[in-house]
Each structure stands twice: as C-alpha cells, then as structure tokens.
Chains A and B, each alone.
Chain A
Amino acid sequence: MIFYASKRILFTLPIMLGVTIVCFALVHLAPGDPLVSVLPPDASQVIKEQMMALYGFDRPYHEQFLRWLWRALQGDIGTSIRTGRPVSTEISKAVGNTLMLAALATAIGFLLGTLFGFVAGYFRDTWVDKAASALSVFGVSVPHYWLGMVLVIIFAATLGWLPPTGAGPGGSEDWKWNWVHVQYLILPAVTMSVIPMGIIARTVRALVAEILSQEFVVGLRAKGLSELGVFGHVVKNAAPTALAVMGIQLGYLLGGSILIETVFAWPGTGLLLNDAIFQRDLPLLQGTILVLAMFFVVLNLVVDVMQTILDPRIQRA
C-alpha cells in the first residue's frame, strides 16, 4: 500500500514538471509585448528595456523558465502587472471563495446524483429510471452559464427571492456564514451542481445495476437478508467508485469555475482569471492557471490513493 502510494507520487512528479512547462509556455505563446498593459504606448525604448530587464523578459527562455520554477518552488509565482501585488496574495484571496462554491456544488450534486442514480439503478427500465436518465442527460447537455442566467432571471429578476450577483455586502473581503451572505452563494452553487449531478447519477446507476446483477446479491437474498441489509452491501460496493468520481468532479469545478463566476460576479479564481486575460496581466494568468492545475493534479493523486485504500479489491501494480 505505502509502496503503491509512493510510486504513484513519484509518477506524478514528471507530470507536475510538464504542467509548469505548459504554464510557462502559455505566456510566451501570447502574441505581443507582455508589458503592453503597464507601459504607455509612447514609452521610450530605454524604459521598455529597463522594464523588460526588471521582469526578466530579456533573458533566454530556458533561463527564464528555471528562474521562474525556482521561485515558484519557494512560493513566489510573480507579481501582478496591474496591481503590483504578489500573484500568490491575489490567488489566496480568491481560492477560498472558489473552494467554498465548488465544494458546496459538489456536495449538492453528489447528494442528488447518488439519490437519482440509486433509484434508477434499483428500478431499471421503469419510468423512474427514464426520468433519472433524462435528468442526467439534461445535466451534461445544458450550457451551465446559460442555466445560471435563467436562474437569475427567475429567482432574482422576477421573483426577487435571491440576490443576482456578487458575494454579499462586504464583497470578498468579509465573508460570514449568515443568511445575508449565504443567500449569494445559493444560485451559483445550484447552477454549478448540475454538472456533477448528471455525471454522478449516470455512474451510480451503472454501478448499482452492475452490483445487483452479481451472484453475491442473489446469495444474500437467498440466505434471507432483508432488503435493507442488501442495500447496505450495495452502498458499500458502490461507494469507492462514486466517491472517486466525486473527487474528480470537485477538481473539474475548481478549475472550470470561470464561466459561472463570470455570470454571478463571484470573486473567486475564475473571475481572477477573467480579469487577468482581459487586462493582459500575464504573470497573474500564468500563476492562477499553475495553481489551479497543480490543485487538480494533487486532487487526482489523492483520489487515486484513497480509492485503493477504500477498495482493496483494486489491484494496483
């Protein structure tokens, strides 16, 4: 077990290195001058060169990469060109908000998804099953940014029950777990939960149907175990895979929150990314993508190792 975990971690290191190379290359893929957003268009050549030297853009690529990587390992991923603050400060402010939103959305999606999946798997080919499948097709087909707009139109603009956008009176600085603030979280979280709900419902339905068709279930019933007891066995068998899918979905939501955060003006990493792109703040863009991608890699690793612990049947070489 420990052998497998350490091997898995070892295999992740080259991937992480690859991710840093991609993040670094992104900035150099960008057309035009990286300093275009800070320098006035009539800046003299001397000032341009000084600024290039200050940010290190005048050095050869491999040297820039190694310097950037070395600093990143020490927790310094650059300075935002627009605000002049360290990128890590900007991200750490935003990442908590996104984590809160994505975790709540995953929880809602997991609860509803497993519920629909179990019902559909138990009552296969009945109308309940068809309704649950329709719901999961809806979940994977709906453009969620549009669903967000529709929910705003219904619950904020028309009914006036919930606030349309933002993160409460204090903005992102002053979050509290009270109704004044939590009401801002509801619409974006519900919108976001639709994607994992569809995928988890589909997975759980297939799992439950597969488990119920196995011989040990027939055996359990033959020995006179109650339906509730059988259900317990089904849950136990389905849990590792379902939880793994949930973990991966959380990662996707964390990295893919930009659209929903833009719709709801939610002050997380997605909105930060949006600002970075449109203000051409390349260090901020690079840093945010790096942090989000690393998060995803580590989360995948954790999920994989956890799954092996939870489900000893999985043989991993």
Chain B
Amino acid sequence: MPERAQEILRSPGYWVTVWRRFLRDPVALLAALVVLGLILMAVFAPWIAPQDPFQGMSLQRLKPPGTEGYPLGTDELGRDMLSRLIHGARISLFMGIVPVLCALAIGAAIGVVAGYSGGWTNTLLMRTVDVFFAFPSVLLAVALAGALGPGLFNGLIALTLVFIPPIARVAESVTTGVRTRDYVEAAKASGAGALLIIRKHVLGNVLGPIFVYAMSLIAVSMILAAGLSFLGLGVKPPQPDWGLMLNTLRTAMYTQPLLCALPGVMIFITSIAFNLMTDGLRSAMDIKT
C-alpha cells in the first residue's frame, strides 16, 4: 500500500480531531472541568451539603461568612448558606440545560424541515418563528412566565419557547446550505426519499453546528431562569435556588453585603464556565460564527 493511502487510513475521525484540539485548549479544558464539578455537585448535593438546606435556626440569622459551623454564613431564616448554594446548583443547572434541550429538539426539527422543504412550508414555518423572534428574549420569557404564573414547570415552558426561534433559524440556514450540495443532489437523483436523505445526509452535517449553537444558549437560559426567580416568577420558597436567594437576601444588602452577593457569584461562575467551554468547542470544531 502506498504511504499516502496508509496515512489517510490512519488519520483519525472528525470527532477524535475535535476532541484532541479541545484537550489542547487549557482555558476550555478548565471550564469543562468546572462544569463537570458543578454537575457532580448538583447530583450529589444531599451527600455533600453539610446541613439541611431547609432547616433554619432562628437565633443564627444572617451570620457573616466564616461563622463557626457556617463556613459561608446563614441566610435571613438562619439556614446554612453553603448547603443552600450546593442544593441551588440543582435547579440552576436544570433550568440551564433542560429548556435548551427541549428547544433543541423542537427548533431543530422545525428548522431542518423548513430548510429542506423550501417553498411554502419554509415560508409558513419561518414566518411563524419570526413572530416570536420579534420579542426581545427577556421580554418574551417574562411575559410568558408572568402570564402562566410562577413555578418551575411554567418557567421551563417559557424558556423553551424563548429558545425555539433562534435554534430554528440556525437550523434552517445550515440546512438550506446543505440542501443544494452535490451529495444531496446525487442521493435525490438515485431515488432516495426525503426522510432517508435527511437522516443519512442532512442531519449528520447540520447537527454539529446546531448543537454548538444550542450549547451557547445554556448560560443564557440559566441567567434568564435565575432572573425569573429573582423577580419571583421562578421556583417558590423555600426551594433553594440561586436567583430566588438573591431576591430574598436583598433586604440584607446593607448589613451583610458579602453574604447577599454569594448566590450571584455561583450564577456567574457557572455561566462563565459554560460560555468558555462552548467557545473552546466552537473553535475545536472550527465553526465560524
């Protein structure tokens, strides 16, 4: 076998290349480790947290960080801040990831169908998407959550609806780009049906960019969800949630400033980790956006 052919045979696949490039990016790798740590913290919260996040001691209210027995202090009802922050990761990560996944499934389906079909189907689907795009995302989330009323599930619905239009738009434009490629034309000419072509030729080429785009929305979704909780439109007390904690601790802004900034620090760390990880993945996959 000639050397060149051997080289081609031995060359690693696309995802292996992406993975290797990602590993060489120290910032992205660190961010990914932080994300992994946060996910583990959320999953094992009941075992890690030193105290019950719901149990308050009325004599120990608003203790500053560093108080004995309460390394990060206590909140306005005397509950251990550290334990509440650890448990808070559960709702925050859930509200960061799940709405984006739901929107990814629906939005990608809309976008791929619209992009592949073209014509009237495209016009009908994409103009409907445009209507939701006409609302700034914060306004749409607040409007939907405000109309539906507070609660975790309503927040989930509101955020999913917020993220369907942008994902559908990206999916549509990527699919439109792939549709006229030679290999799709060839498949059509050899008599392949639309479903088969979408499954075998379109999805493999469009899912990567759509997925990376969706990942960049996780931080947005988490910040928005925490914002809804901050307004009182998210989960209900006494549920430990970073956004809600920011809201209830606002009254202590003058007496315990450090304490009441803590939940926001967690939101910030999480969103920055997700953003840097996505940036790293995007450059590893060489997607220019």
Q: A18-B128, A255-B139, A262-B231 in contact; A31/B134 too (CB < 8 A)? A: no
In the complex, the answer to whether A296 meets B134 with C-beta atoms within 8 Å is: yes
- Residue on B with the closest CB to A27? B147
Q: Which residues of A come within 8 Å of B, CB atoms?
A: 14-16, 18-19, 21-22, 26-27, 29-31, 137-138, 140-143, 145-147, 149-150, 152-153, 157-158, 251-252, 254-256, 258-259, 262, 273-274, 276-278, 285, 289, 292-293, 296-297, 300
Q: Which secondary structure dominates where chain B touches chain A?
A: helix
Contact B227 A143 (CB under 8 A): yes
Give the distance in Å from the alpha carbon of A147 to the alpha carbon of B268 in the complex.
Answer: 10
Report yes or no: B136 in contact with A153, Cβ–Cβ below 8 A: no
- Contact code string B250-267 (vs A, CB < 8 Å = 1, else 0): 100110010011011001
Which stretch from B41-49, B168-176, B197-205, B269-277 is at the chain A interface?
B269-277
Given contacts A149-B246, A153-B261, A256-B138, contact A274 B227 (CB under 8 A): no
Check A19 against B134 for contact (C-beta < 8 Å).
Answer: yes
**When chains A and B are docked, how far (Å) is the Cα of A255 from the Cα of B26?**
37
Q: B219 at the A/B interface (Cβ < 8 Å)? A: yes
What 0/1 readout, one digit per residue, does chain B (129-150) give for beta carbons within 8 Å of chain A?
0111011111100111011110
B127 proximity list for chain A (CB < 8 A): 14-15, 18
Shortest distance from the beta carbon of B221 to any chain A beta carbon, whole Å = 12
**Does B281 lie at the interface of the complex (its beta carbon under 8 Å from any beta carbon of A)?**
no
Is the beta-carbon distance between B134 and A152 smaller than 8 angstroms?
Answer: no
A150 touches B147 (CB 8 A): no
Q: Which residues of A lie under 8 Å from residue B155 when comparing CB positions?
A: none
B132 neighbours in A (Cβ, 8 Å): 22
CB pair B275–A30 under 8 Å, yes or no, is: no
Contacts of A158 in B (CB 8 A): 257
B233 in the interface (beta carbon within 8 A): yes
Sample (24) of A-B pairs whose CB atoms are under 8 Å apart:
A22-B132, A27-B147, A29-B144, A29-B148, A137-B272, A141-B268, A143-B227, A143-B268, A145-B227, A146-B267, A147-B264, A149-B253, A157-B253, A251-B136, A252-B138, A256-B138, A258-B138, A259-B230, A262-B231, A274-B231, A277-B146, A278-B232, A292-B136, A296-B139
Known: A15-B130, A26-B143, A145-B227. A255 touches B135 (CB 8 A): yes
Q: Are B147 and A142 in contact (CB under 8 A)?
A: no
* 8 Å CB contact of B142 from A18, A22, A273: A273
Q: Cβ of A143 and Cβ of B136 under 8 Å apart?
A: no
State how many residues of chain B have any CB contact under 8 Å with chain A: 42
| Chain A residues closer than 8 Å to B231, beta-carbon distance | 258-259, 262, 274, 277
| Identity of the chain B residue whose Cβ is nearest the Cβ of A153 in the assembled complex | B257
Contact with A along B219-263 (1 / 0, CB 8 A): 100010011001111000000000000100010011001001101
Closest 5 CB pairs of A and B: A146-B264, A255-B136, A18-B131, A256-B138, A277-B146
Whether A143 and B267, one on each chain, are in contact in the complex, defined by CB atoms closer than 8 angstroms, is yes
Q: How far is the CB of A293 from chain B (nearest CB, A)?
A: 5
Structural contact, A289 and B143, CB atoms closer than 8 A: yes
Given contact pairs A150-B264, A252-B137, enumerate 6 new A-B contacts (beta carbons under 8 Å): A26-B147, A31-B148, A141-B219, A142-B268, A150-B261, A292-B139
Q: How far is the CB of A268 from chain B (nearest CB, A)?
A: 13
**In the bound complex, do residue B261 and residue A15 qualify as a contact, i.e. CB atoms below 8 Å apart?**
no
- In the complex, which residue of chain B has the Cβ closest to the Cβ of A259? B227
Asked if A293 and B246 make an inter-chain contact with CB atoms under 8 angstroms apart, the answer reads: no
Distance in angstroms from A258 CB to nearest chain B CB is 5
- The chain A residue sitting closest to B223, CB to CB, is A143
Contact of B136 among A18, A254, A262, A276 (CB under 8 A): A254
Query: Which residues of A lie under 8 Å from residue B271 when comparing CB positions?
Result: 141-143
Q: Enumerate chain B residues within 8 angstroms of A146, measured Cβ to Cβ.
A: 246, 261, 263-264, 267-268
CB within 8 Å for A157 and B227 given contacts A254-B136, A277-B142 = no
Enumerate chain B residues within 8 angstroms of A300, measured Cβ to Cβ. 134
Q: Is the CB of A29 within 8 A of B147?
A: yes
Question: In the complex the two chains form, what is the Cα distance from A16 to B134 in whole Å?
Answer: 8
CA distance A140 to B275 in the complex (A): 9
